[in-house]
């Protein structure tokens, strides 16, 4: 048992961080971006009562140093001495860091996200309760999909990748499109259909790579080929996304997913209120942490929009499992995200397409110190 005695305060003594960068086996190319490292930030909350929260969040590379600077120079001084059970007060204490108009608020929100997630992990550990139960406890088992189909692979390499997802035991995959013509992307997608078989669930993700007409053409081609798509994620470009997302839904009937590129709750509000999405995949590590994600989930419930989550299965599983309108938890191929598969000593059980959430306190994350030492920045 902890020295902390319920129900007294649990006060923040200090905040520690470690940045991790793991070189990947190759460059991974989406429609309009590429990535060669997998990164994360470990955030640790130390309390005067001896309870320690510890999480890893985010995948930002170049902005890592800026995020760490914000955590240590602005967020930590505002939080030391505060009670972690006052999660709302802690978030409000961090909010002034977003007021500087001369810097990227998205980077600030990532810093707040890391600390907010660690605060919640501390709360769960103090109460000796997994967070999915603390937040609502709807289910501890979620369907899992993989994210893949990156550009630059031969047909044989793509075939091998999809075969490995089947070996992992995921239910299906989110396939990358939007980087070439709709006709070329359809031929790439057909590989996943052939290898995965009729029970392999497929979504597509253009990362805002198409315009409206290209999106509609791709969907029509897929429908003519008899390919069932569970959703189309971020199909259209940023400069007219809300109207075009709505138009994709109305013109094709395909469910649309978006929200990961929004780091502000008002941005999600406008997506939902404009009828632009069927699924919202707001990212807790980009948008302000679980405190804000749970507000977004409540907003979406009011509009009958289902919740997904962009990556970050170690956190997203607890969030999605806590609500009735949560859907798929996501992972990558081991080569694309070695951190998720290797940084934890605690198991990540996946069987018959379903992921079981840890019943350990908090987020249930137990970190491999040797792995961290090997890839610490």
Q: What is the pLDDT of residue 346?
A: 82
> In this structure, is the dihedral angle defined by the CA atoms of residues 301, 306, 311 and 312, taken in order, positive or negative?
positive
Q: Where in the chain is the domain with CATH 3.30.390.10?
A: 12-128
CATH number for the region 12-128 comes to 3.30.390.10
50: alpha, beta or left? (left if phi > 0; alpha if psi -120 to 50): left
* C-alpha span between 85 and 97 (Å, rounded): 21
* C-alpha span between 54 and 45 (Å, rounded): 6
Residues in the chain predicted with pLDDT less than 50, given as ranges, are 1
Q: What is the pLDDT of residue 5?
A: 66
**Angle, alpha carbons 54-56-62 (nearest 5°):** 135
Q: What is the pLDDT of residue 2?
A: 56
CB-based burial label for 155 (10 Å; 0-12, 13-18, 19+): exposed
CATH number for the region 132-365 comes to 3.20.20.120
Q: What is the pLDDT of residue 347?
A: 80
Q: What is the pLDDT of residue 349?
A: 87
Structure tokens at 370: 């040797």
Q: What is the pLDDT of residue 1?
A: 46
Q: What is the pLDDT of residue 348?
A: 78
Q: Where in the chain is the domain with CATH 3.20.20.120?
A: 132-365
């Amino acid at each position: 048992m902890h020295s902390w005695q319920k129900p007294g305060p649990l006060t923040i003594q200090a905040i520690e961080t470690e940045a991790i960068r793991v070189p990947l086996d190759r460059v991974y190319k989406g429609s309009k971006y590429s990535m060669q490292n997998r990164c994360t930030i470990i955030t640790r909350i130390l309390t005067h009562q001896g309870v320690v929260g510890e999480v890893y969040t985010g995948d930002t590379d170049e902005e890592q140093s800026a995020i760490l600077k914000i955590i240590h120079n602005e967020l930590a001084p505002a939080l030391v001495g505060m009670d972690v059970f006052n999660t709302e007060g802690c978030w409000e204490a961090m909010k002034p860091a977003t007021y500087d108009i001369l810097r990227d608020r998205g980077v600030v929100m990532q810093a707040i996200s890391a600390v907010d997630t660690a605060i919640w992990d501390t709360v769960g550990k103090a109460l000796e309760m997994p967070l999915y139960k603390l937040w609502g406890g709807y289910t501890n088992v979620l369907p899992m999909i993989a994210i893949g189909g990156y550009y630059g692979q031969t047909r044989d390499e793509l075939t091998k990748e999809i075969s490995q997802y089947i070996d992992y035991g995921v239910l299906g995959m989110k396939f990358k499109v939007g980087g070439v013509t709709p006709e070329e992307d359809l031929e790439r997608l057909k590989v996943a259909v052939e290898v995965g078989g009729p029970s392999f669930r497929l979504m597509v993700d253009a990362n805002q790579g198409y315009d409206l007409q290209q999106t509609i053409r791709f969907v029509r081609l897929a429908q003519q080929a008899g390919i069932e798509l569970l959703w189309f994620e971020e199909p259209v470009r940023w400069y007219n996304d809300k109207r075009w997302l709505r138009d994709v839904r109305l013109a094709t009937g395909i469910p649309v997913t978006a929200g990961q590129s929004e780091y502000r709750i008002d941005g999600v509000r406008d997506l939902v209120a404009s009828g632009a999405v069927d699924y919202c995949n707001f990212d807790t590590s980009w948008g302000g942490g679980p405190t804000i994600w749970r507000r977004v989930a409540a907003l979406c419930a009011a509009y009958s929009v289902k919740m997904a989550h962009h990556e970050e299965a170690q956190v997203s599983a607890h969030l999605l499992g806590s609500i009735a309108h949560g859907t798929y938890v996501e992972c990558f191929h081991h080569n694309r995200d070695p951190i998720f598969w290797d940084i934890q000593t605690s198991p990540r059980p996946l069987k018959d397409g379903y992921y079981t959430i840890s019943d350990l306190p908090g987020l249930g994350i137990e970190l491999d110190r040797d792995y961290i030492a090997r890839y610490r920045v």
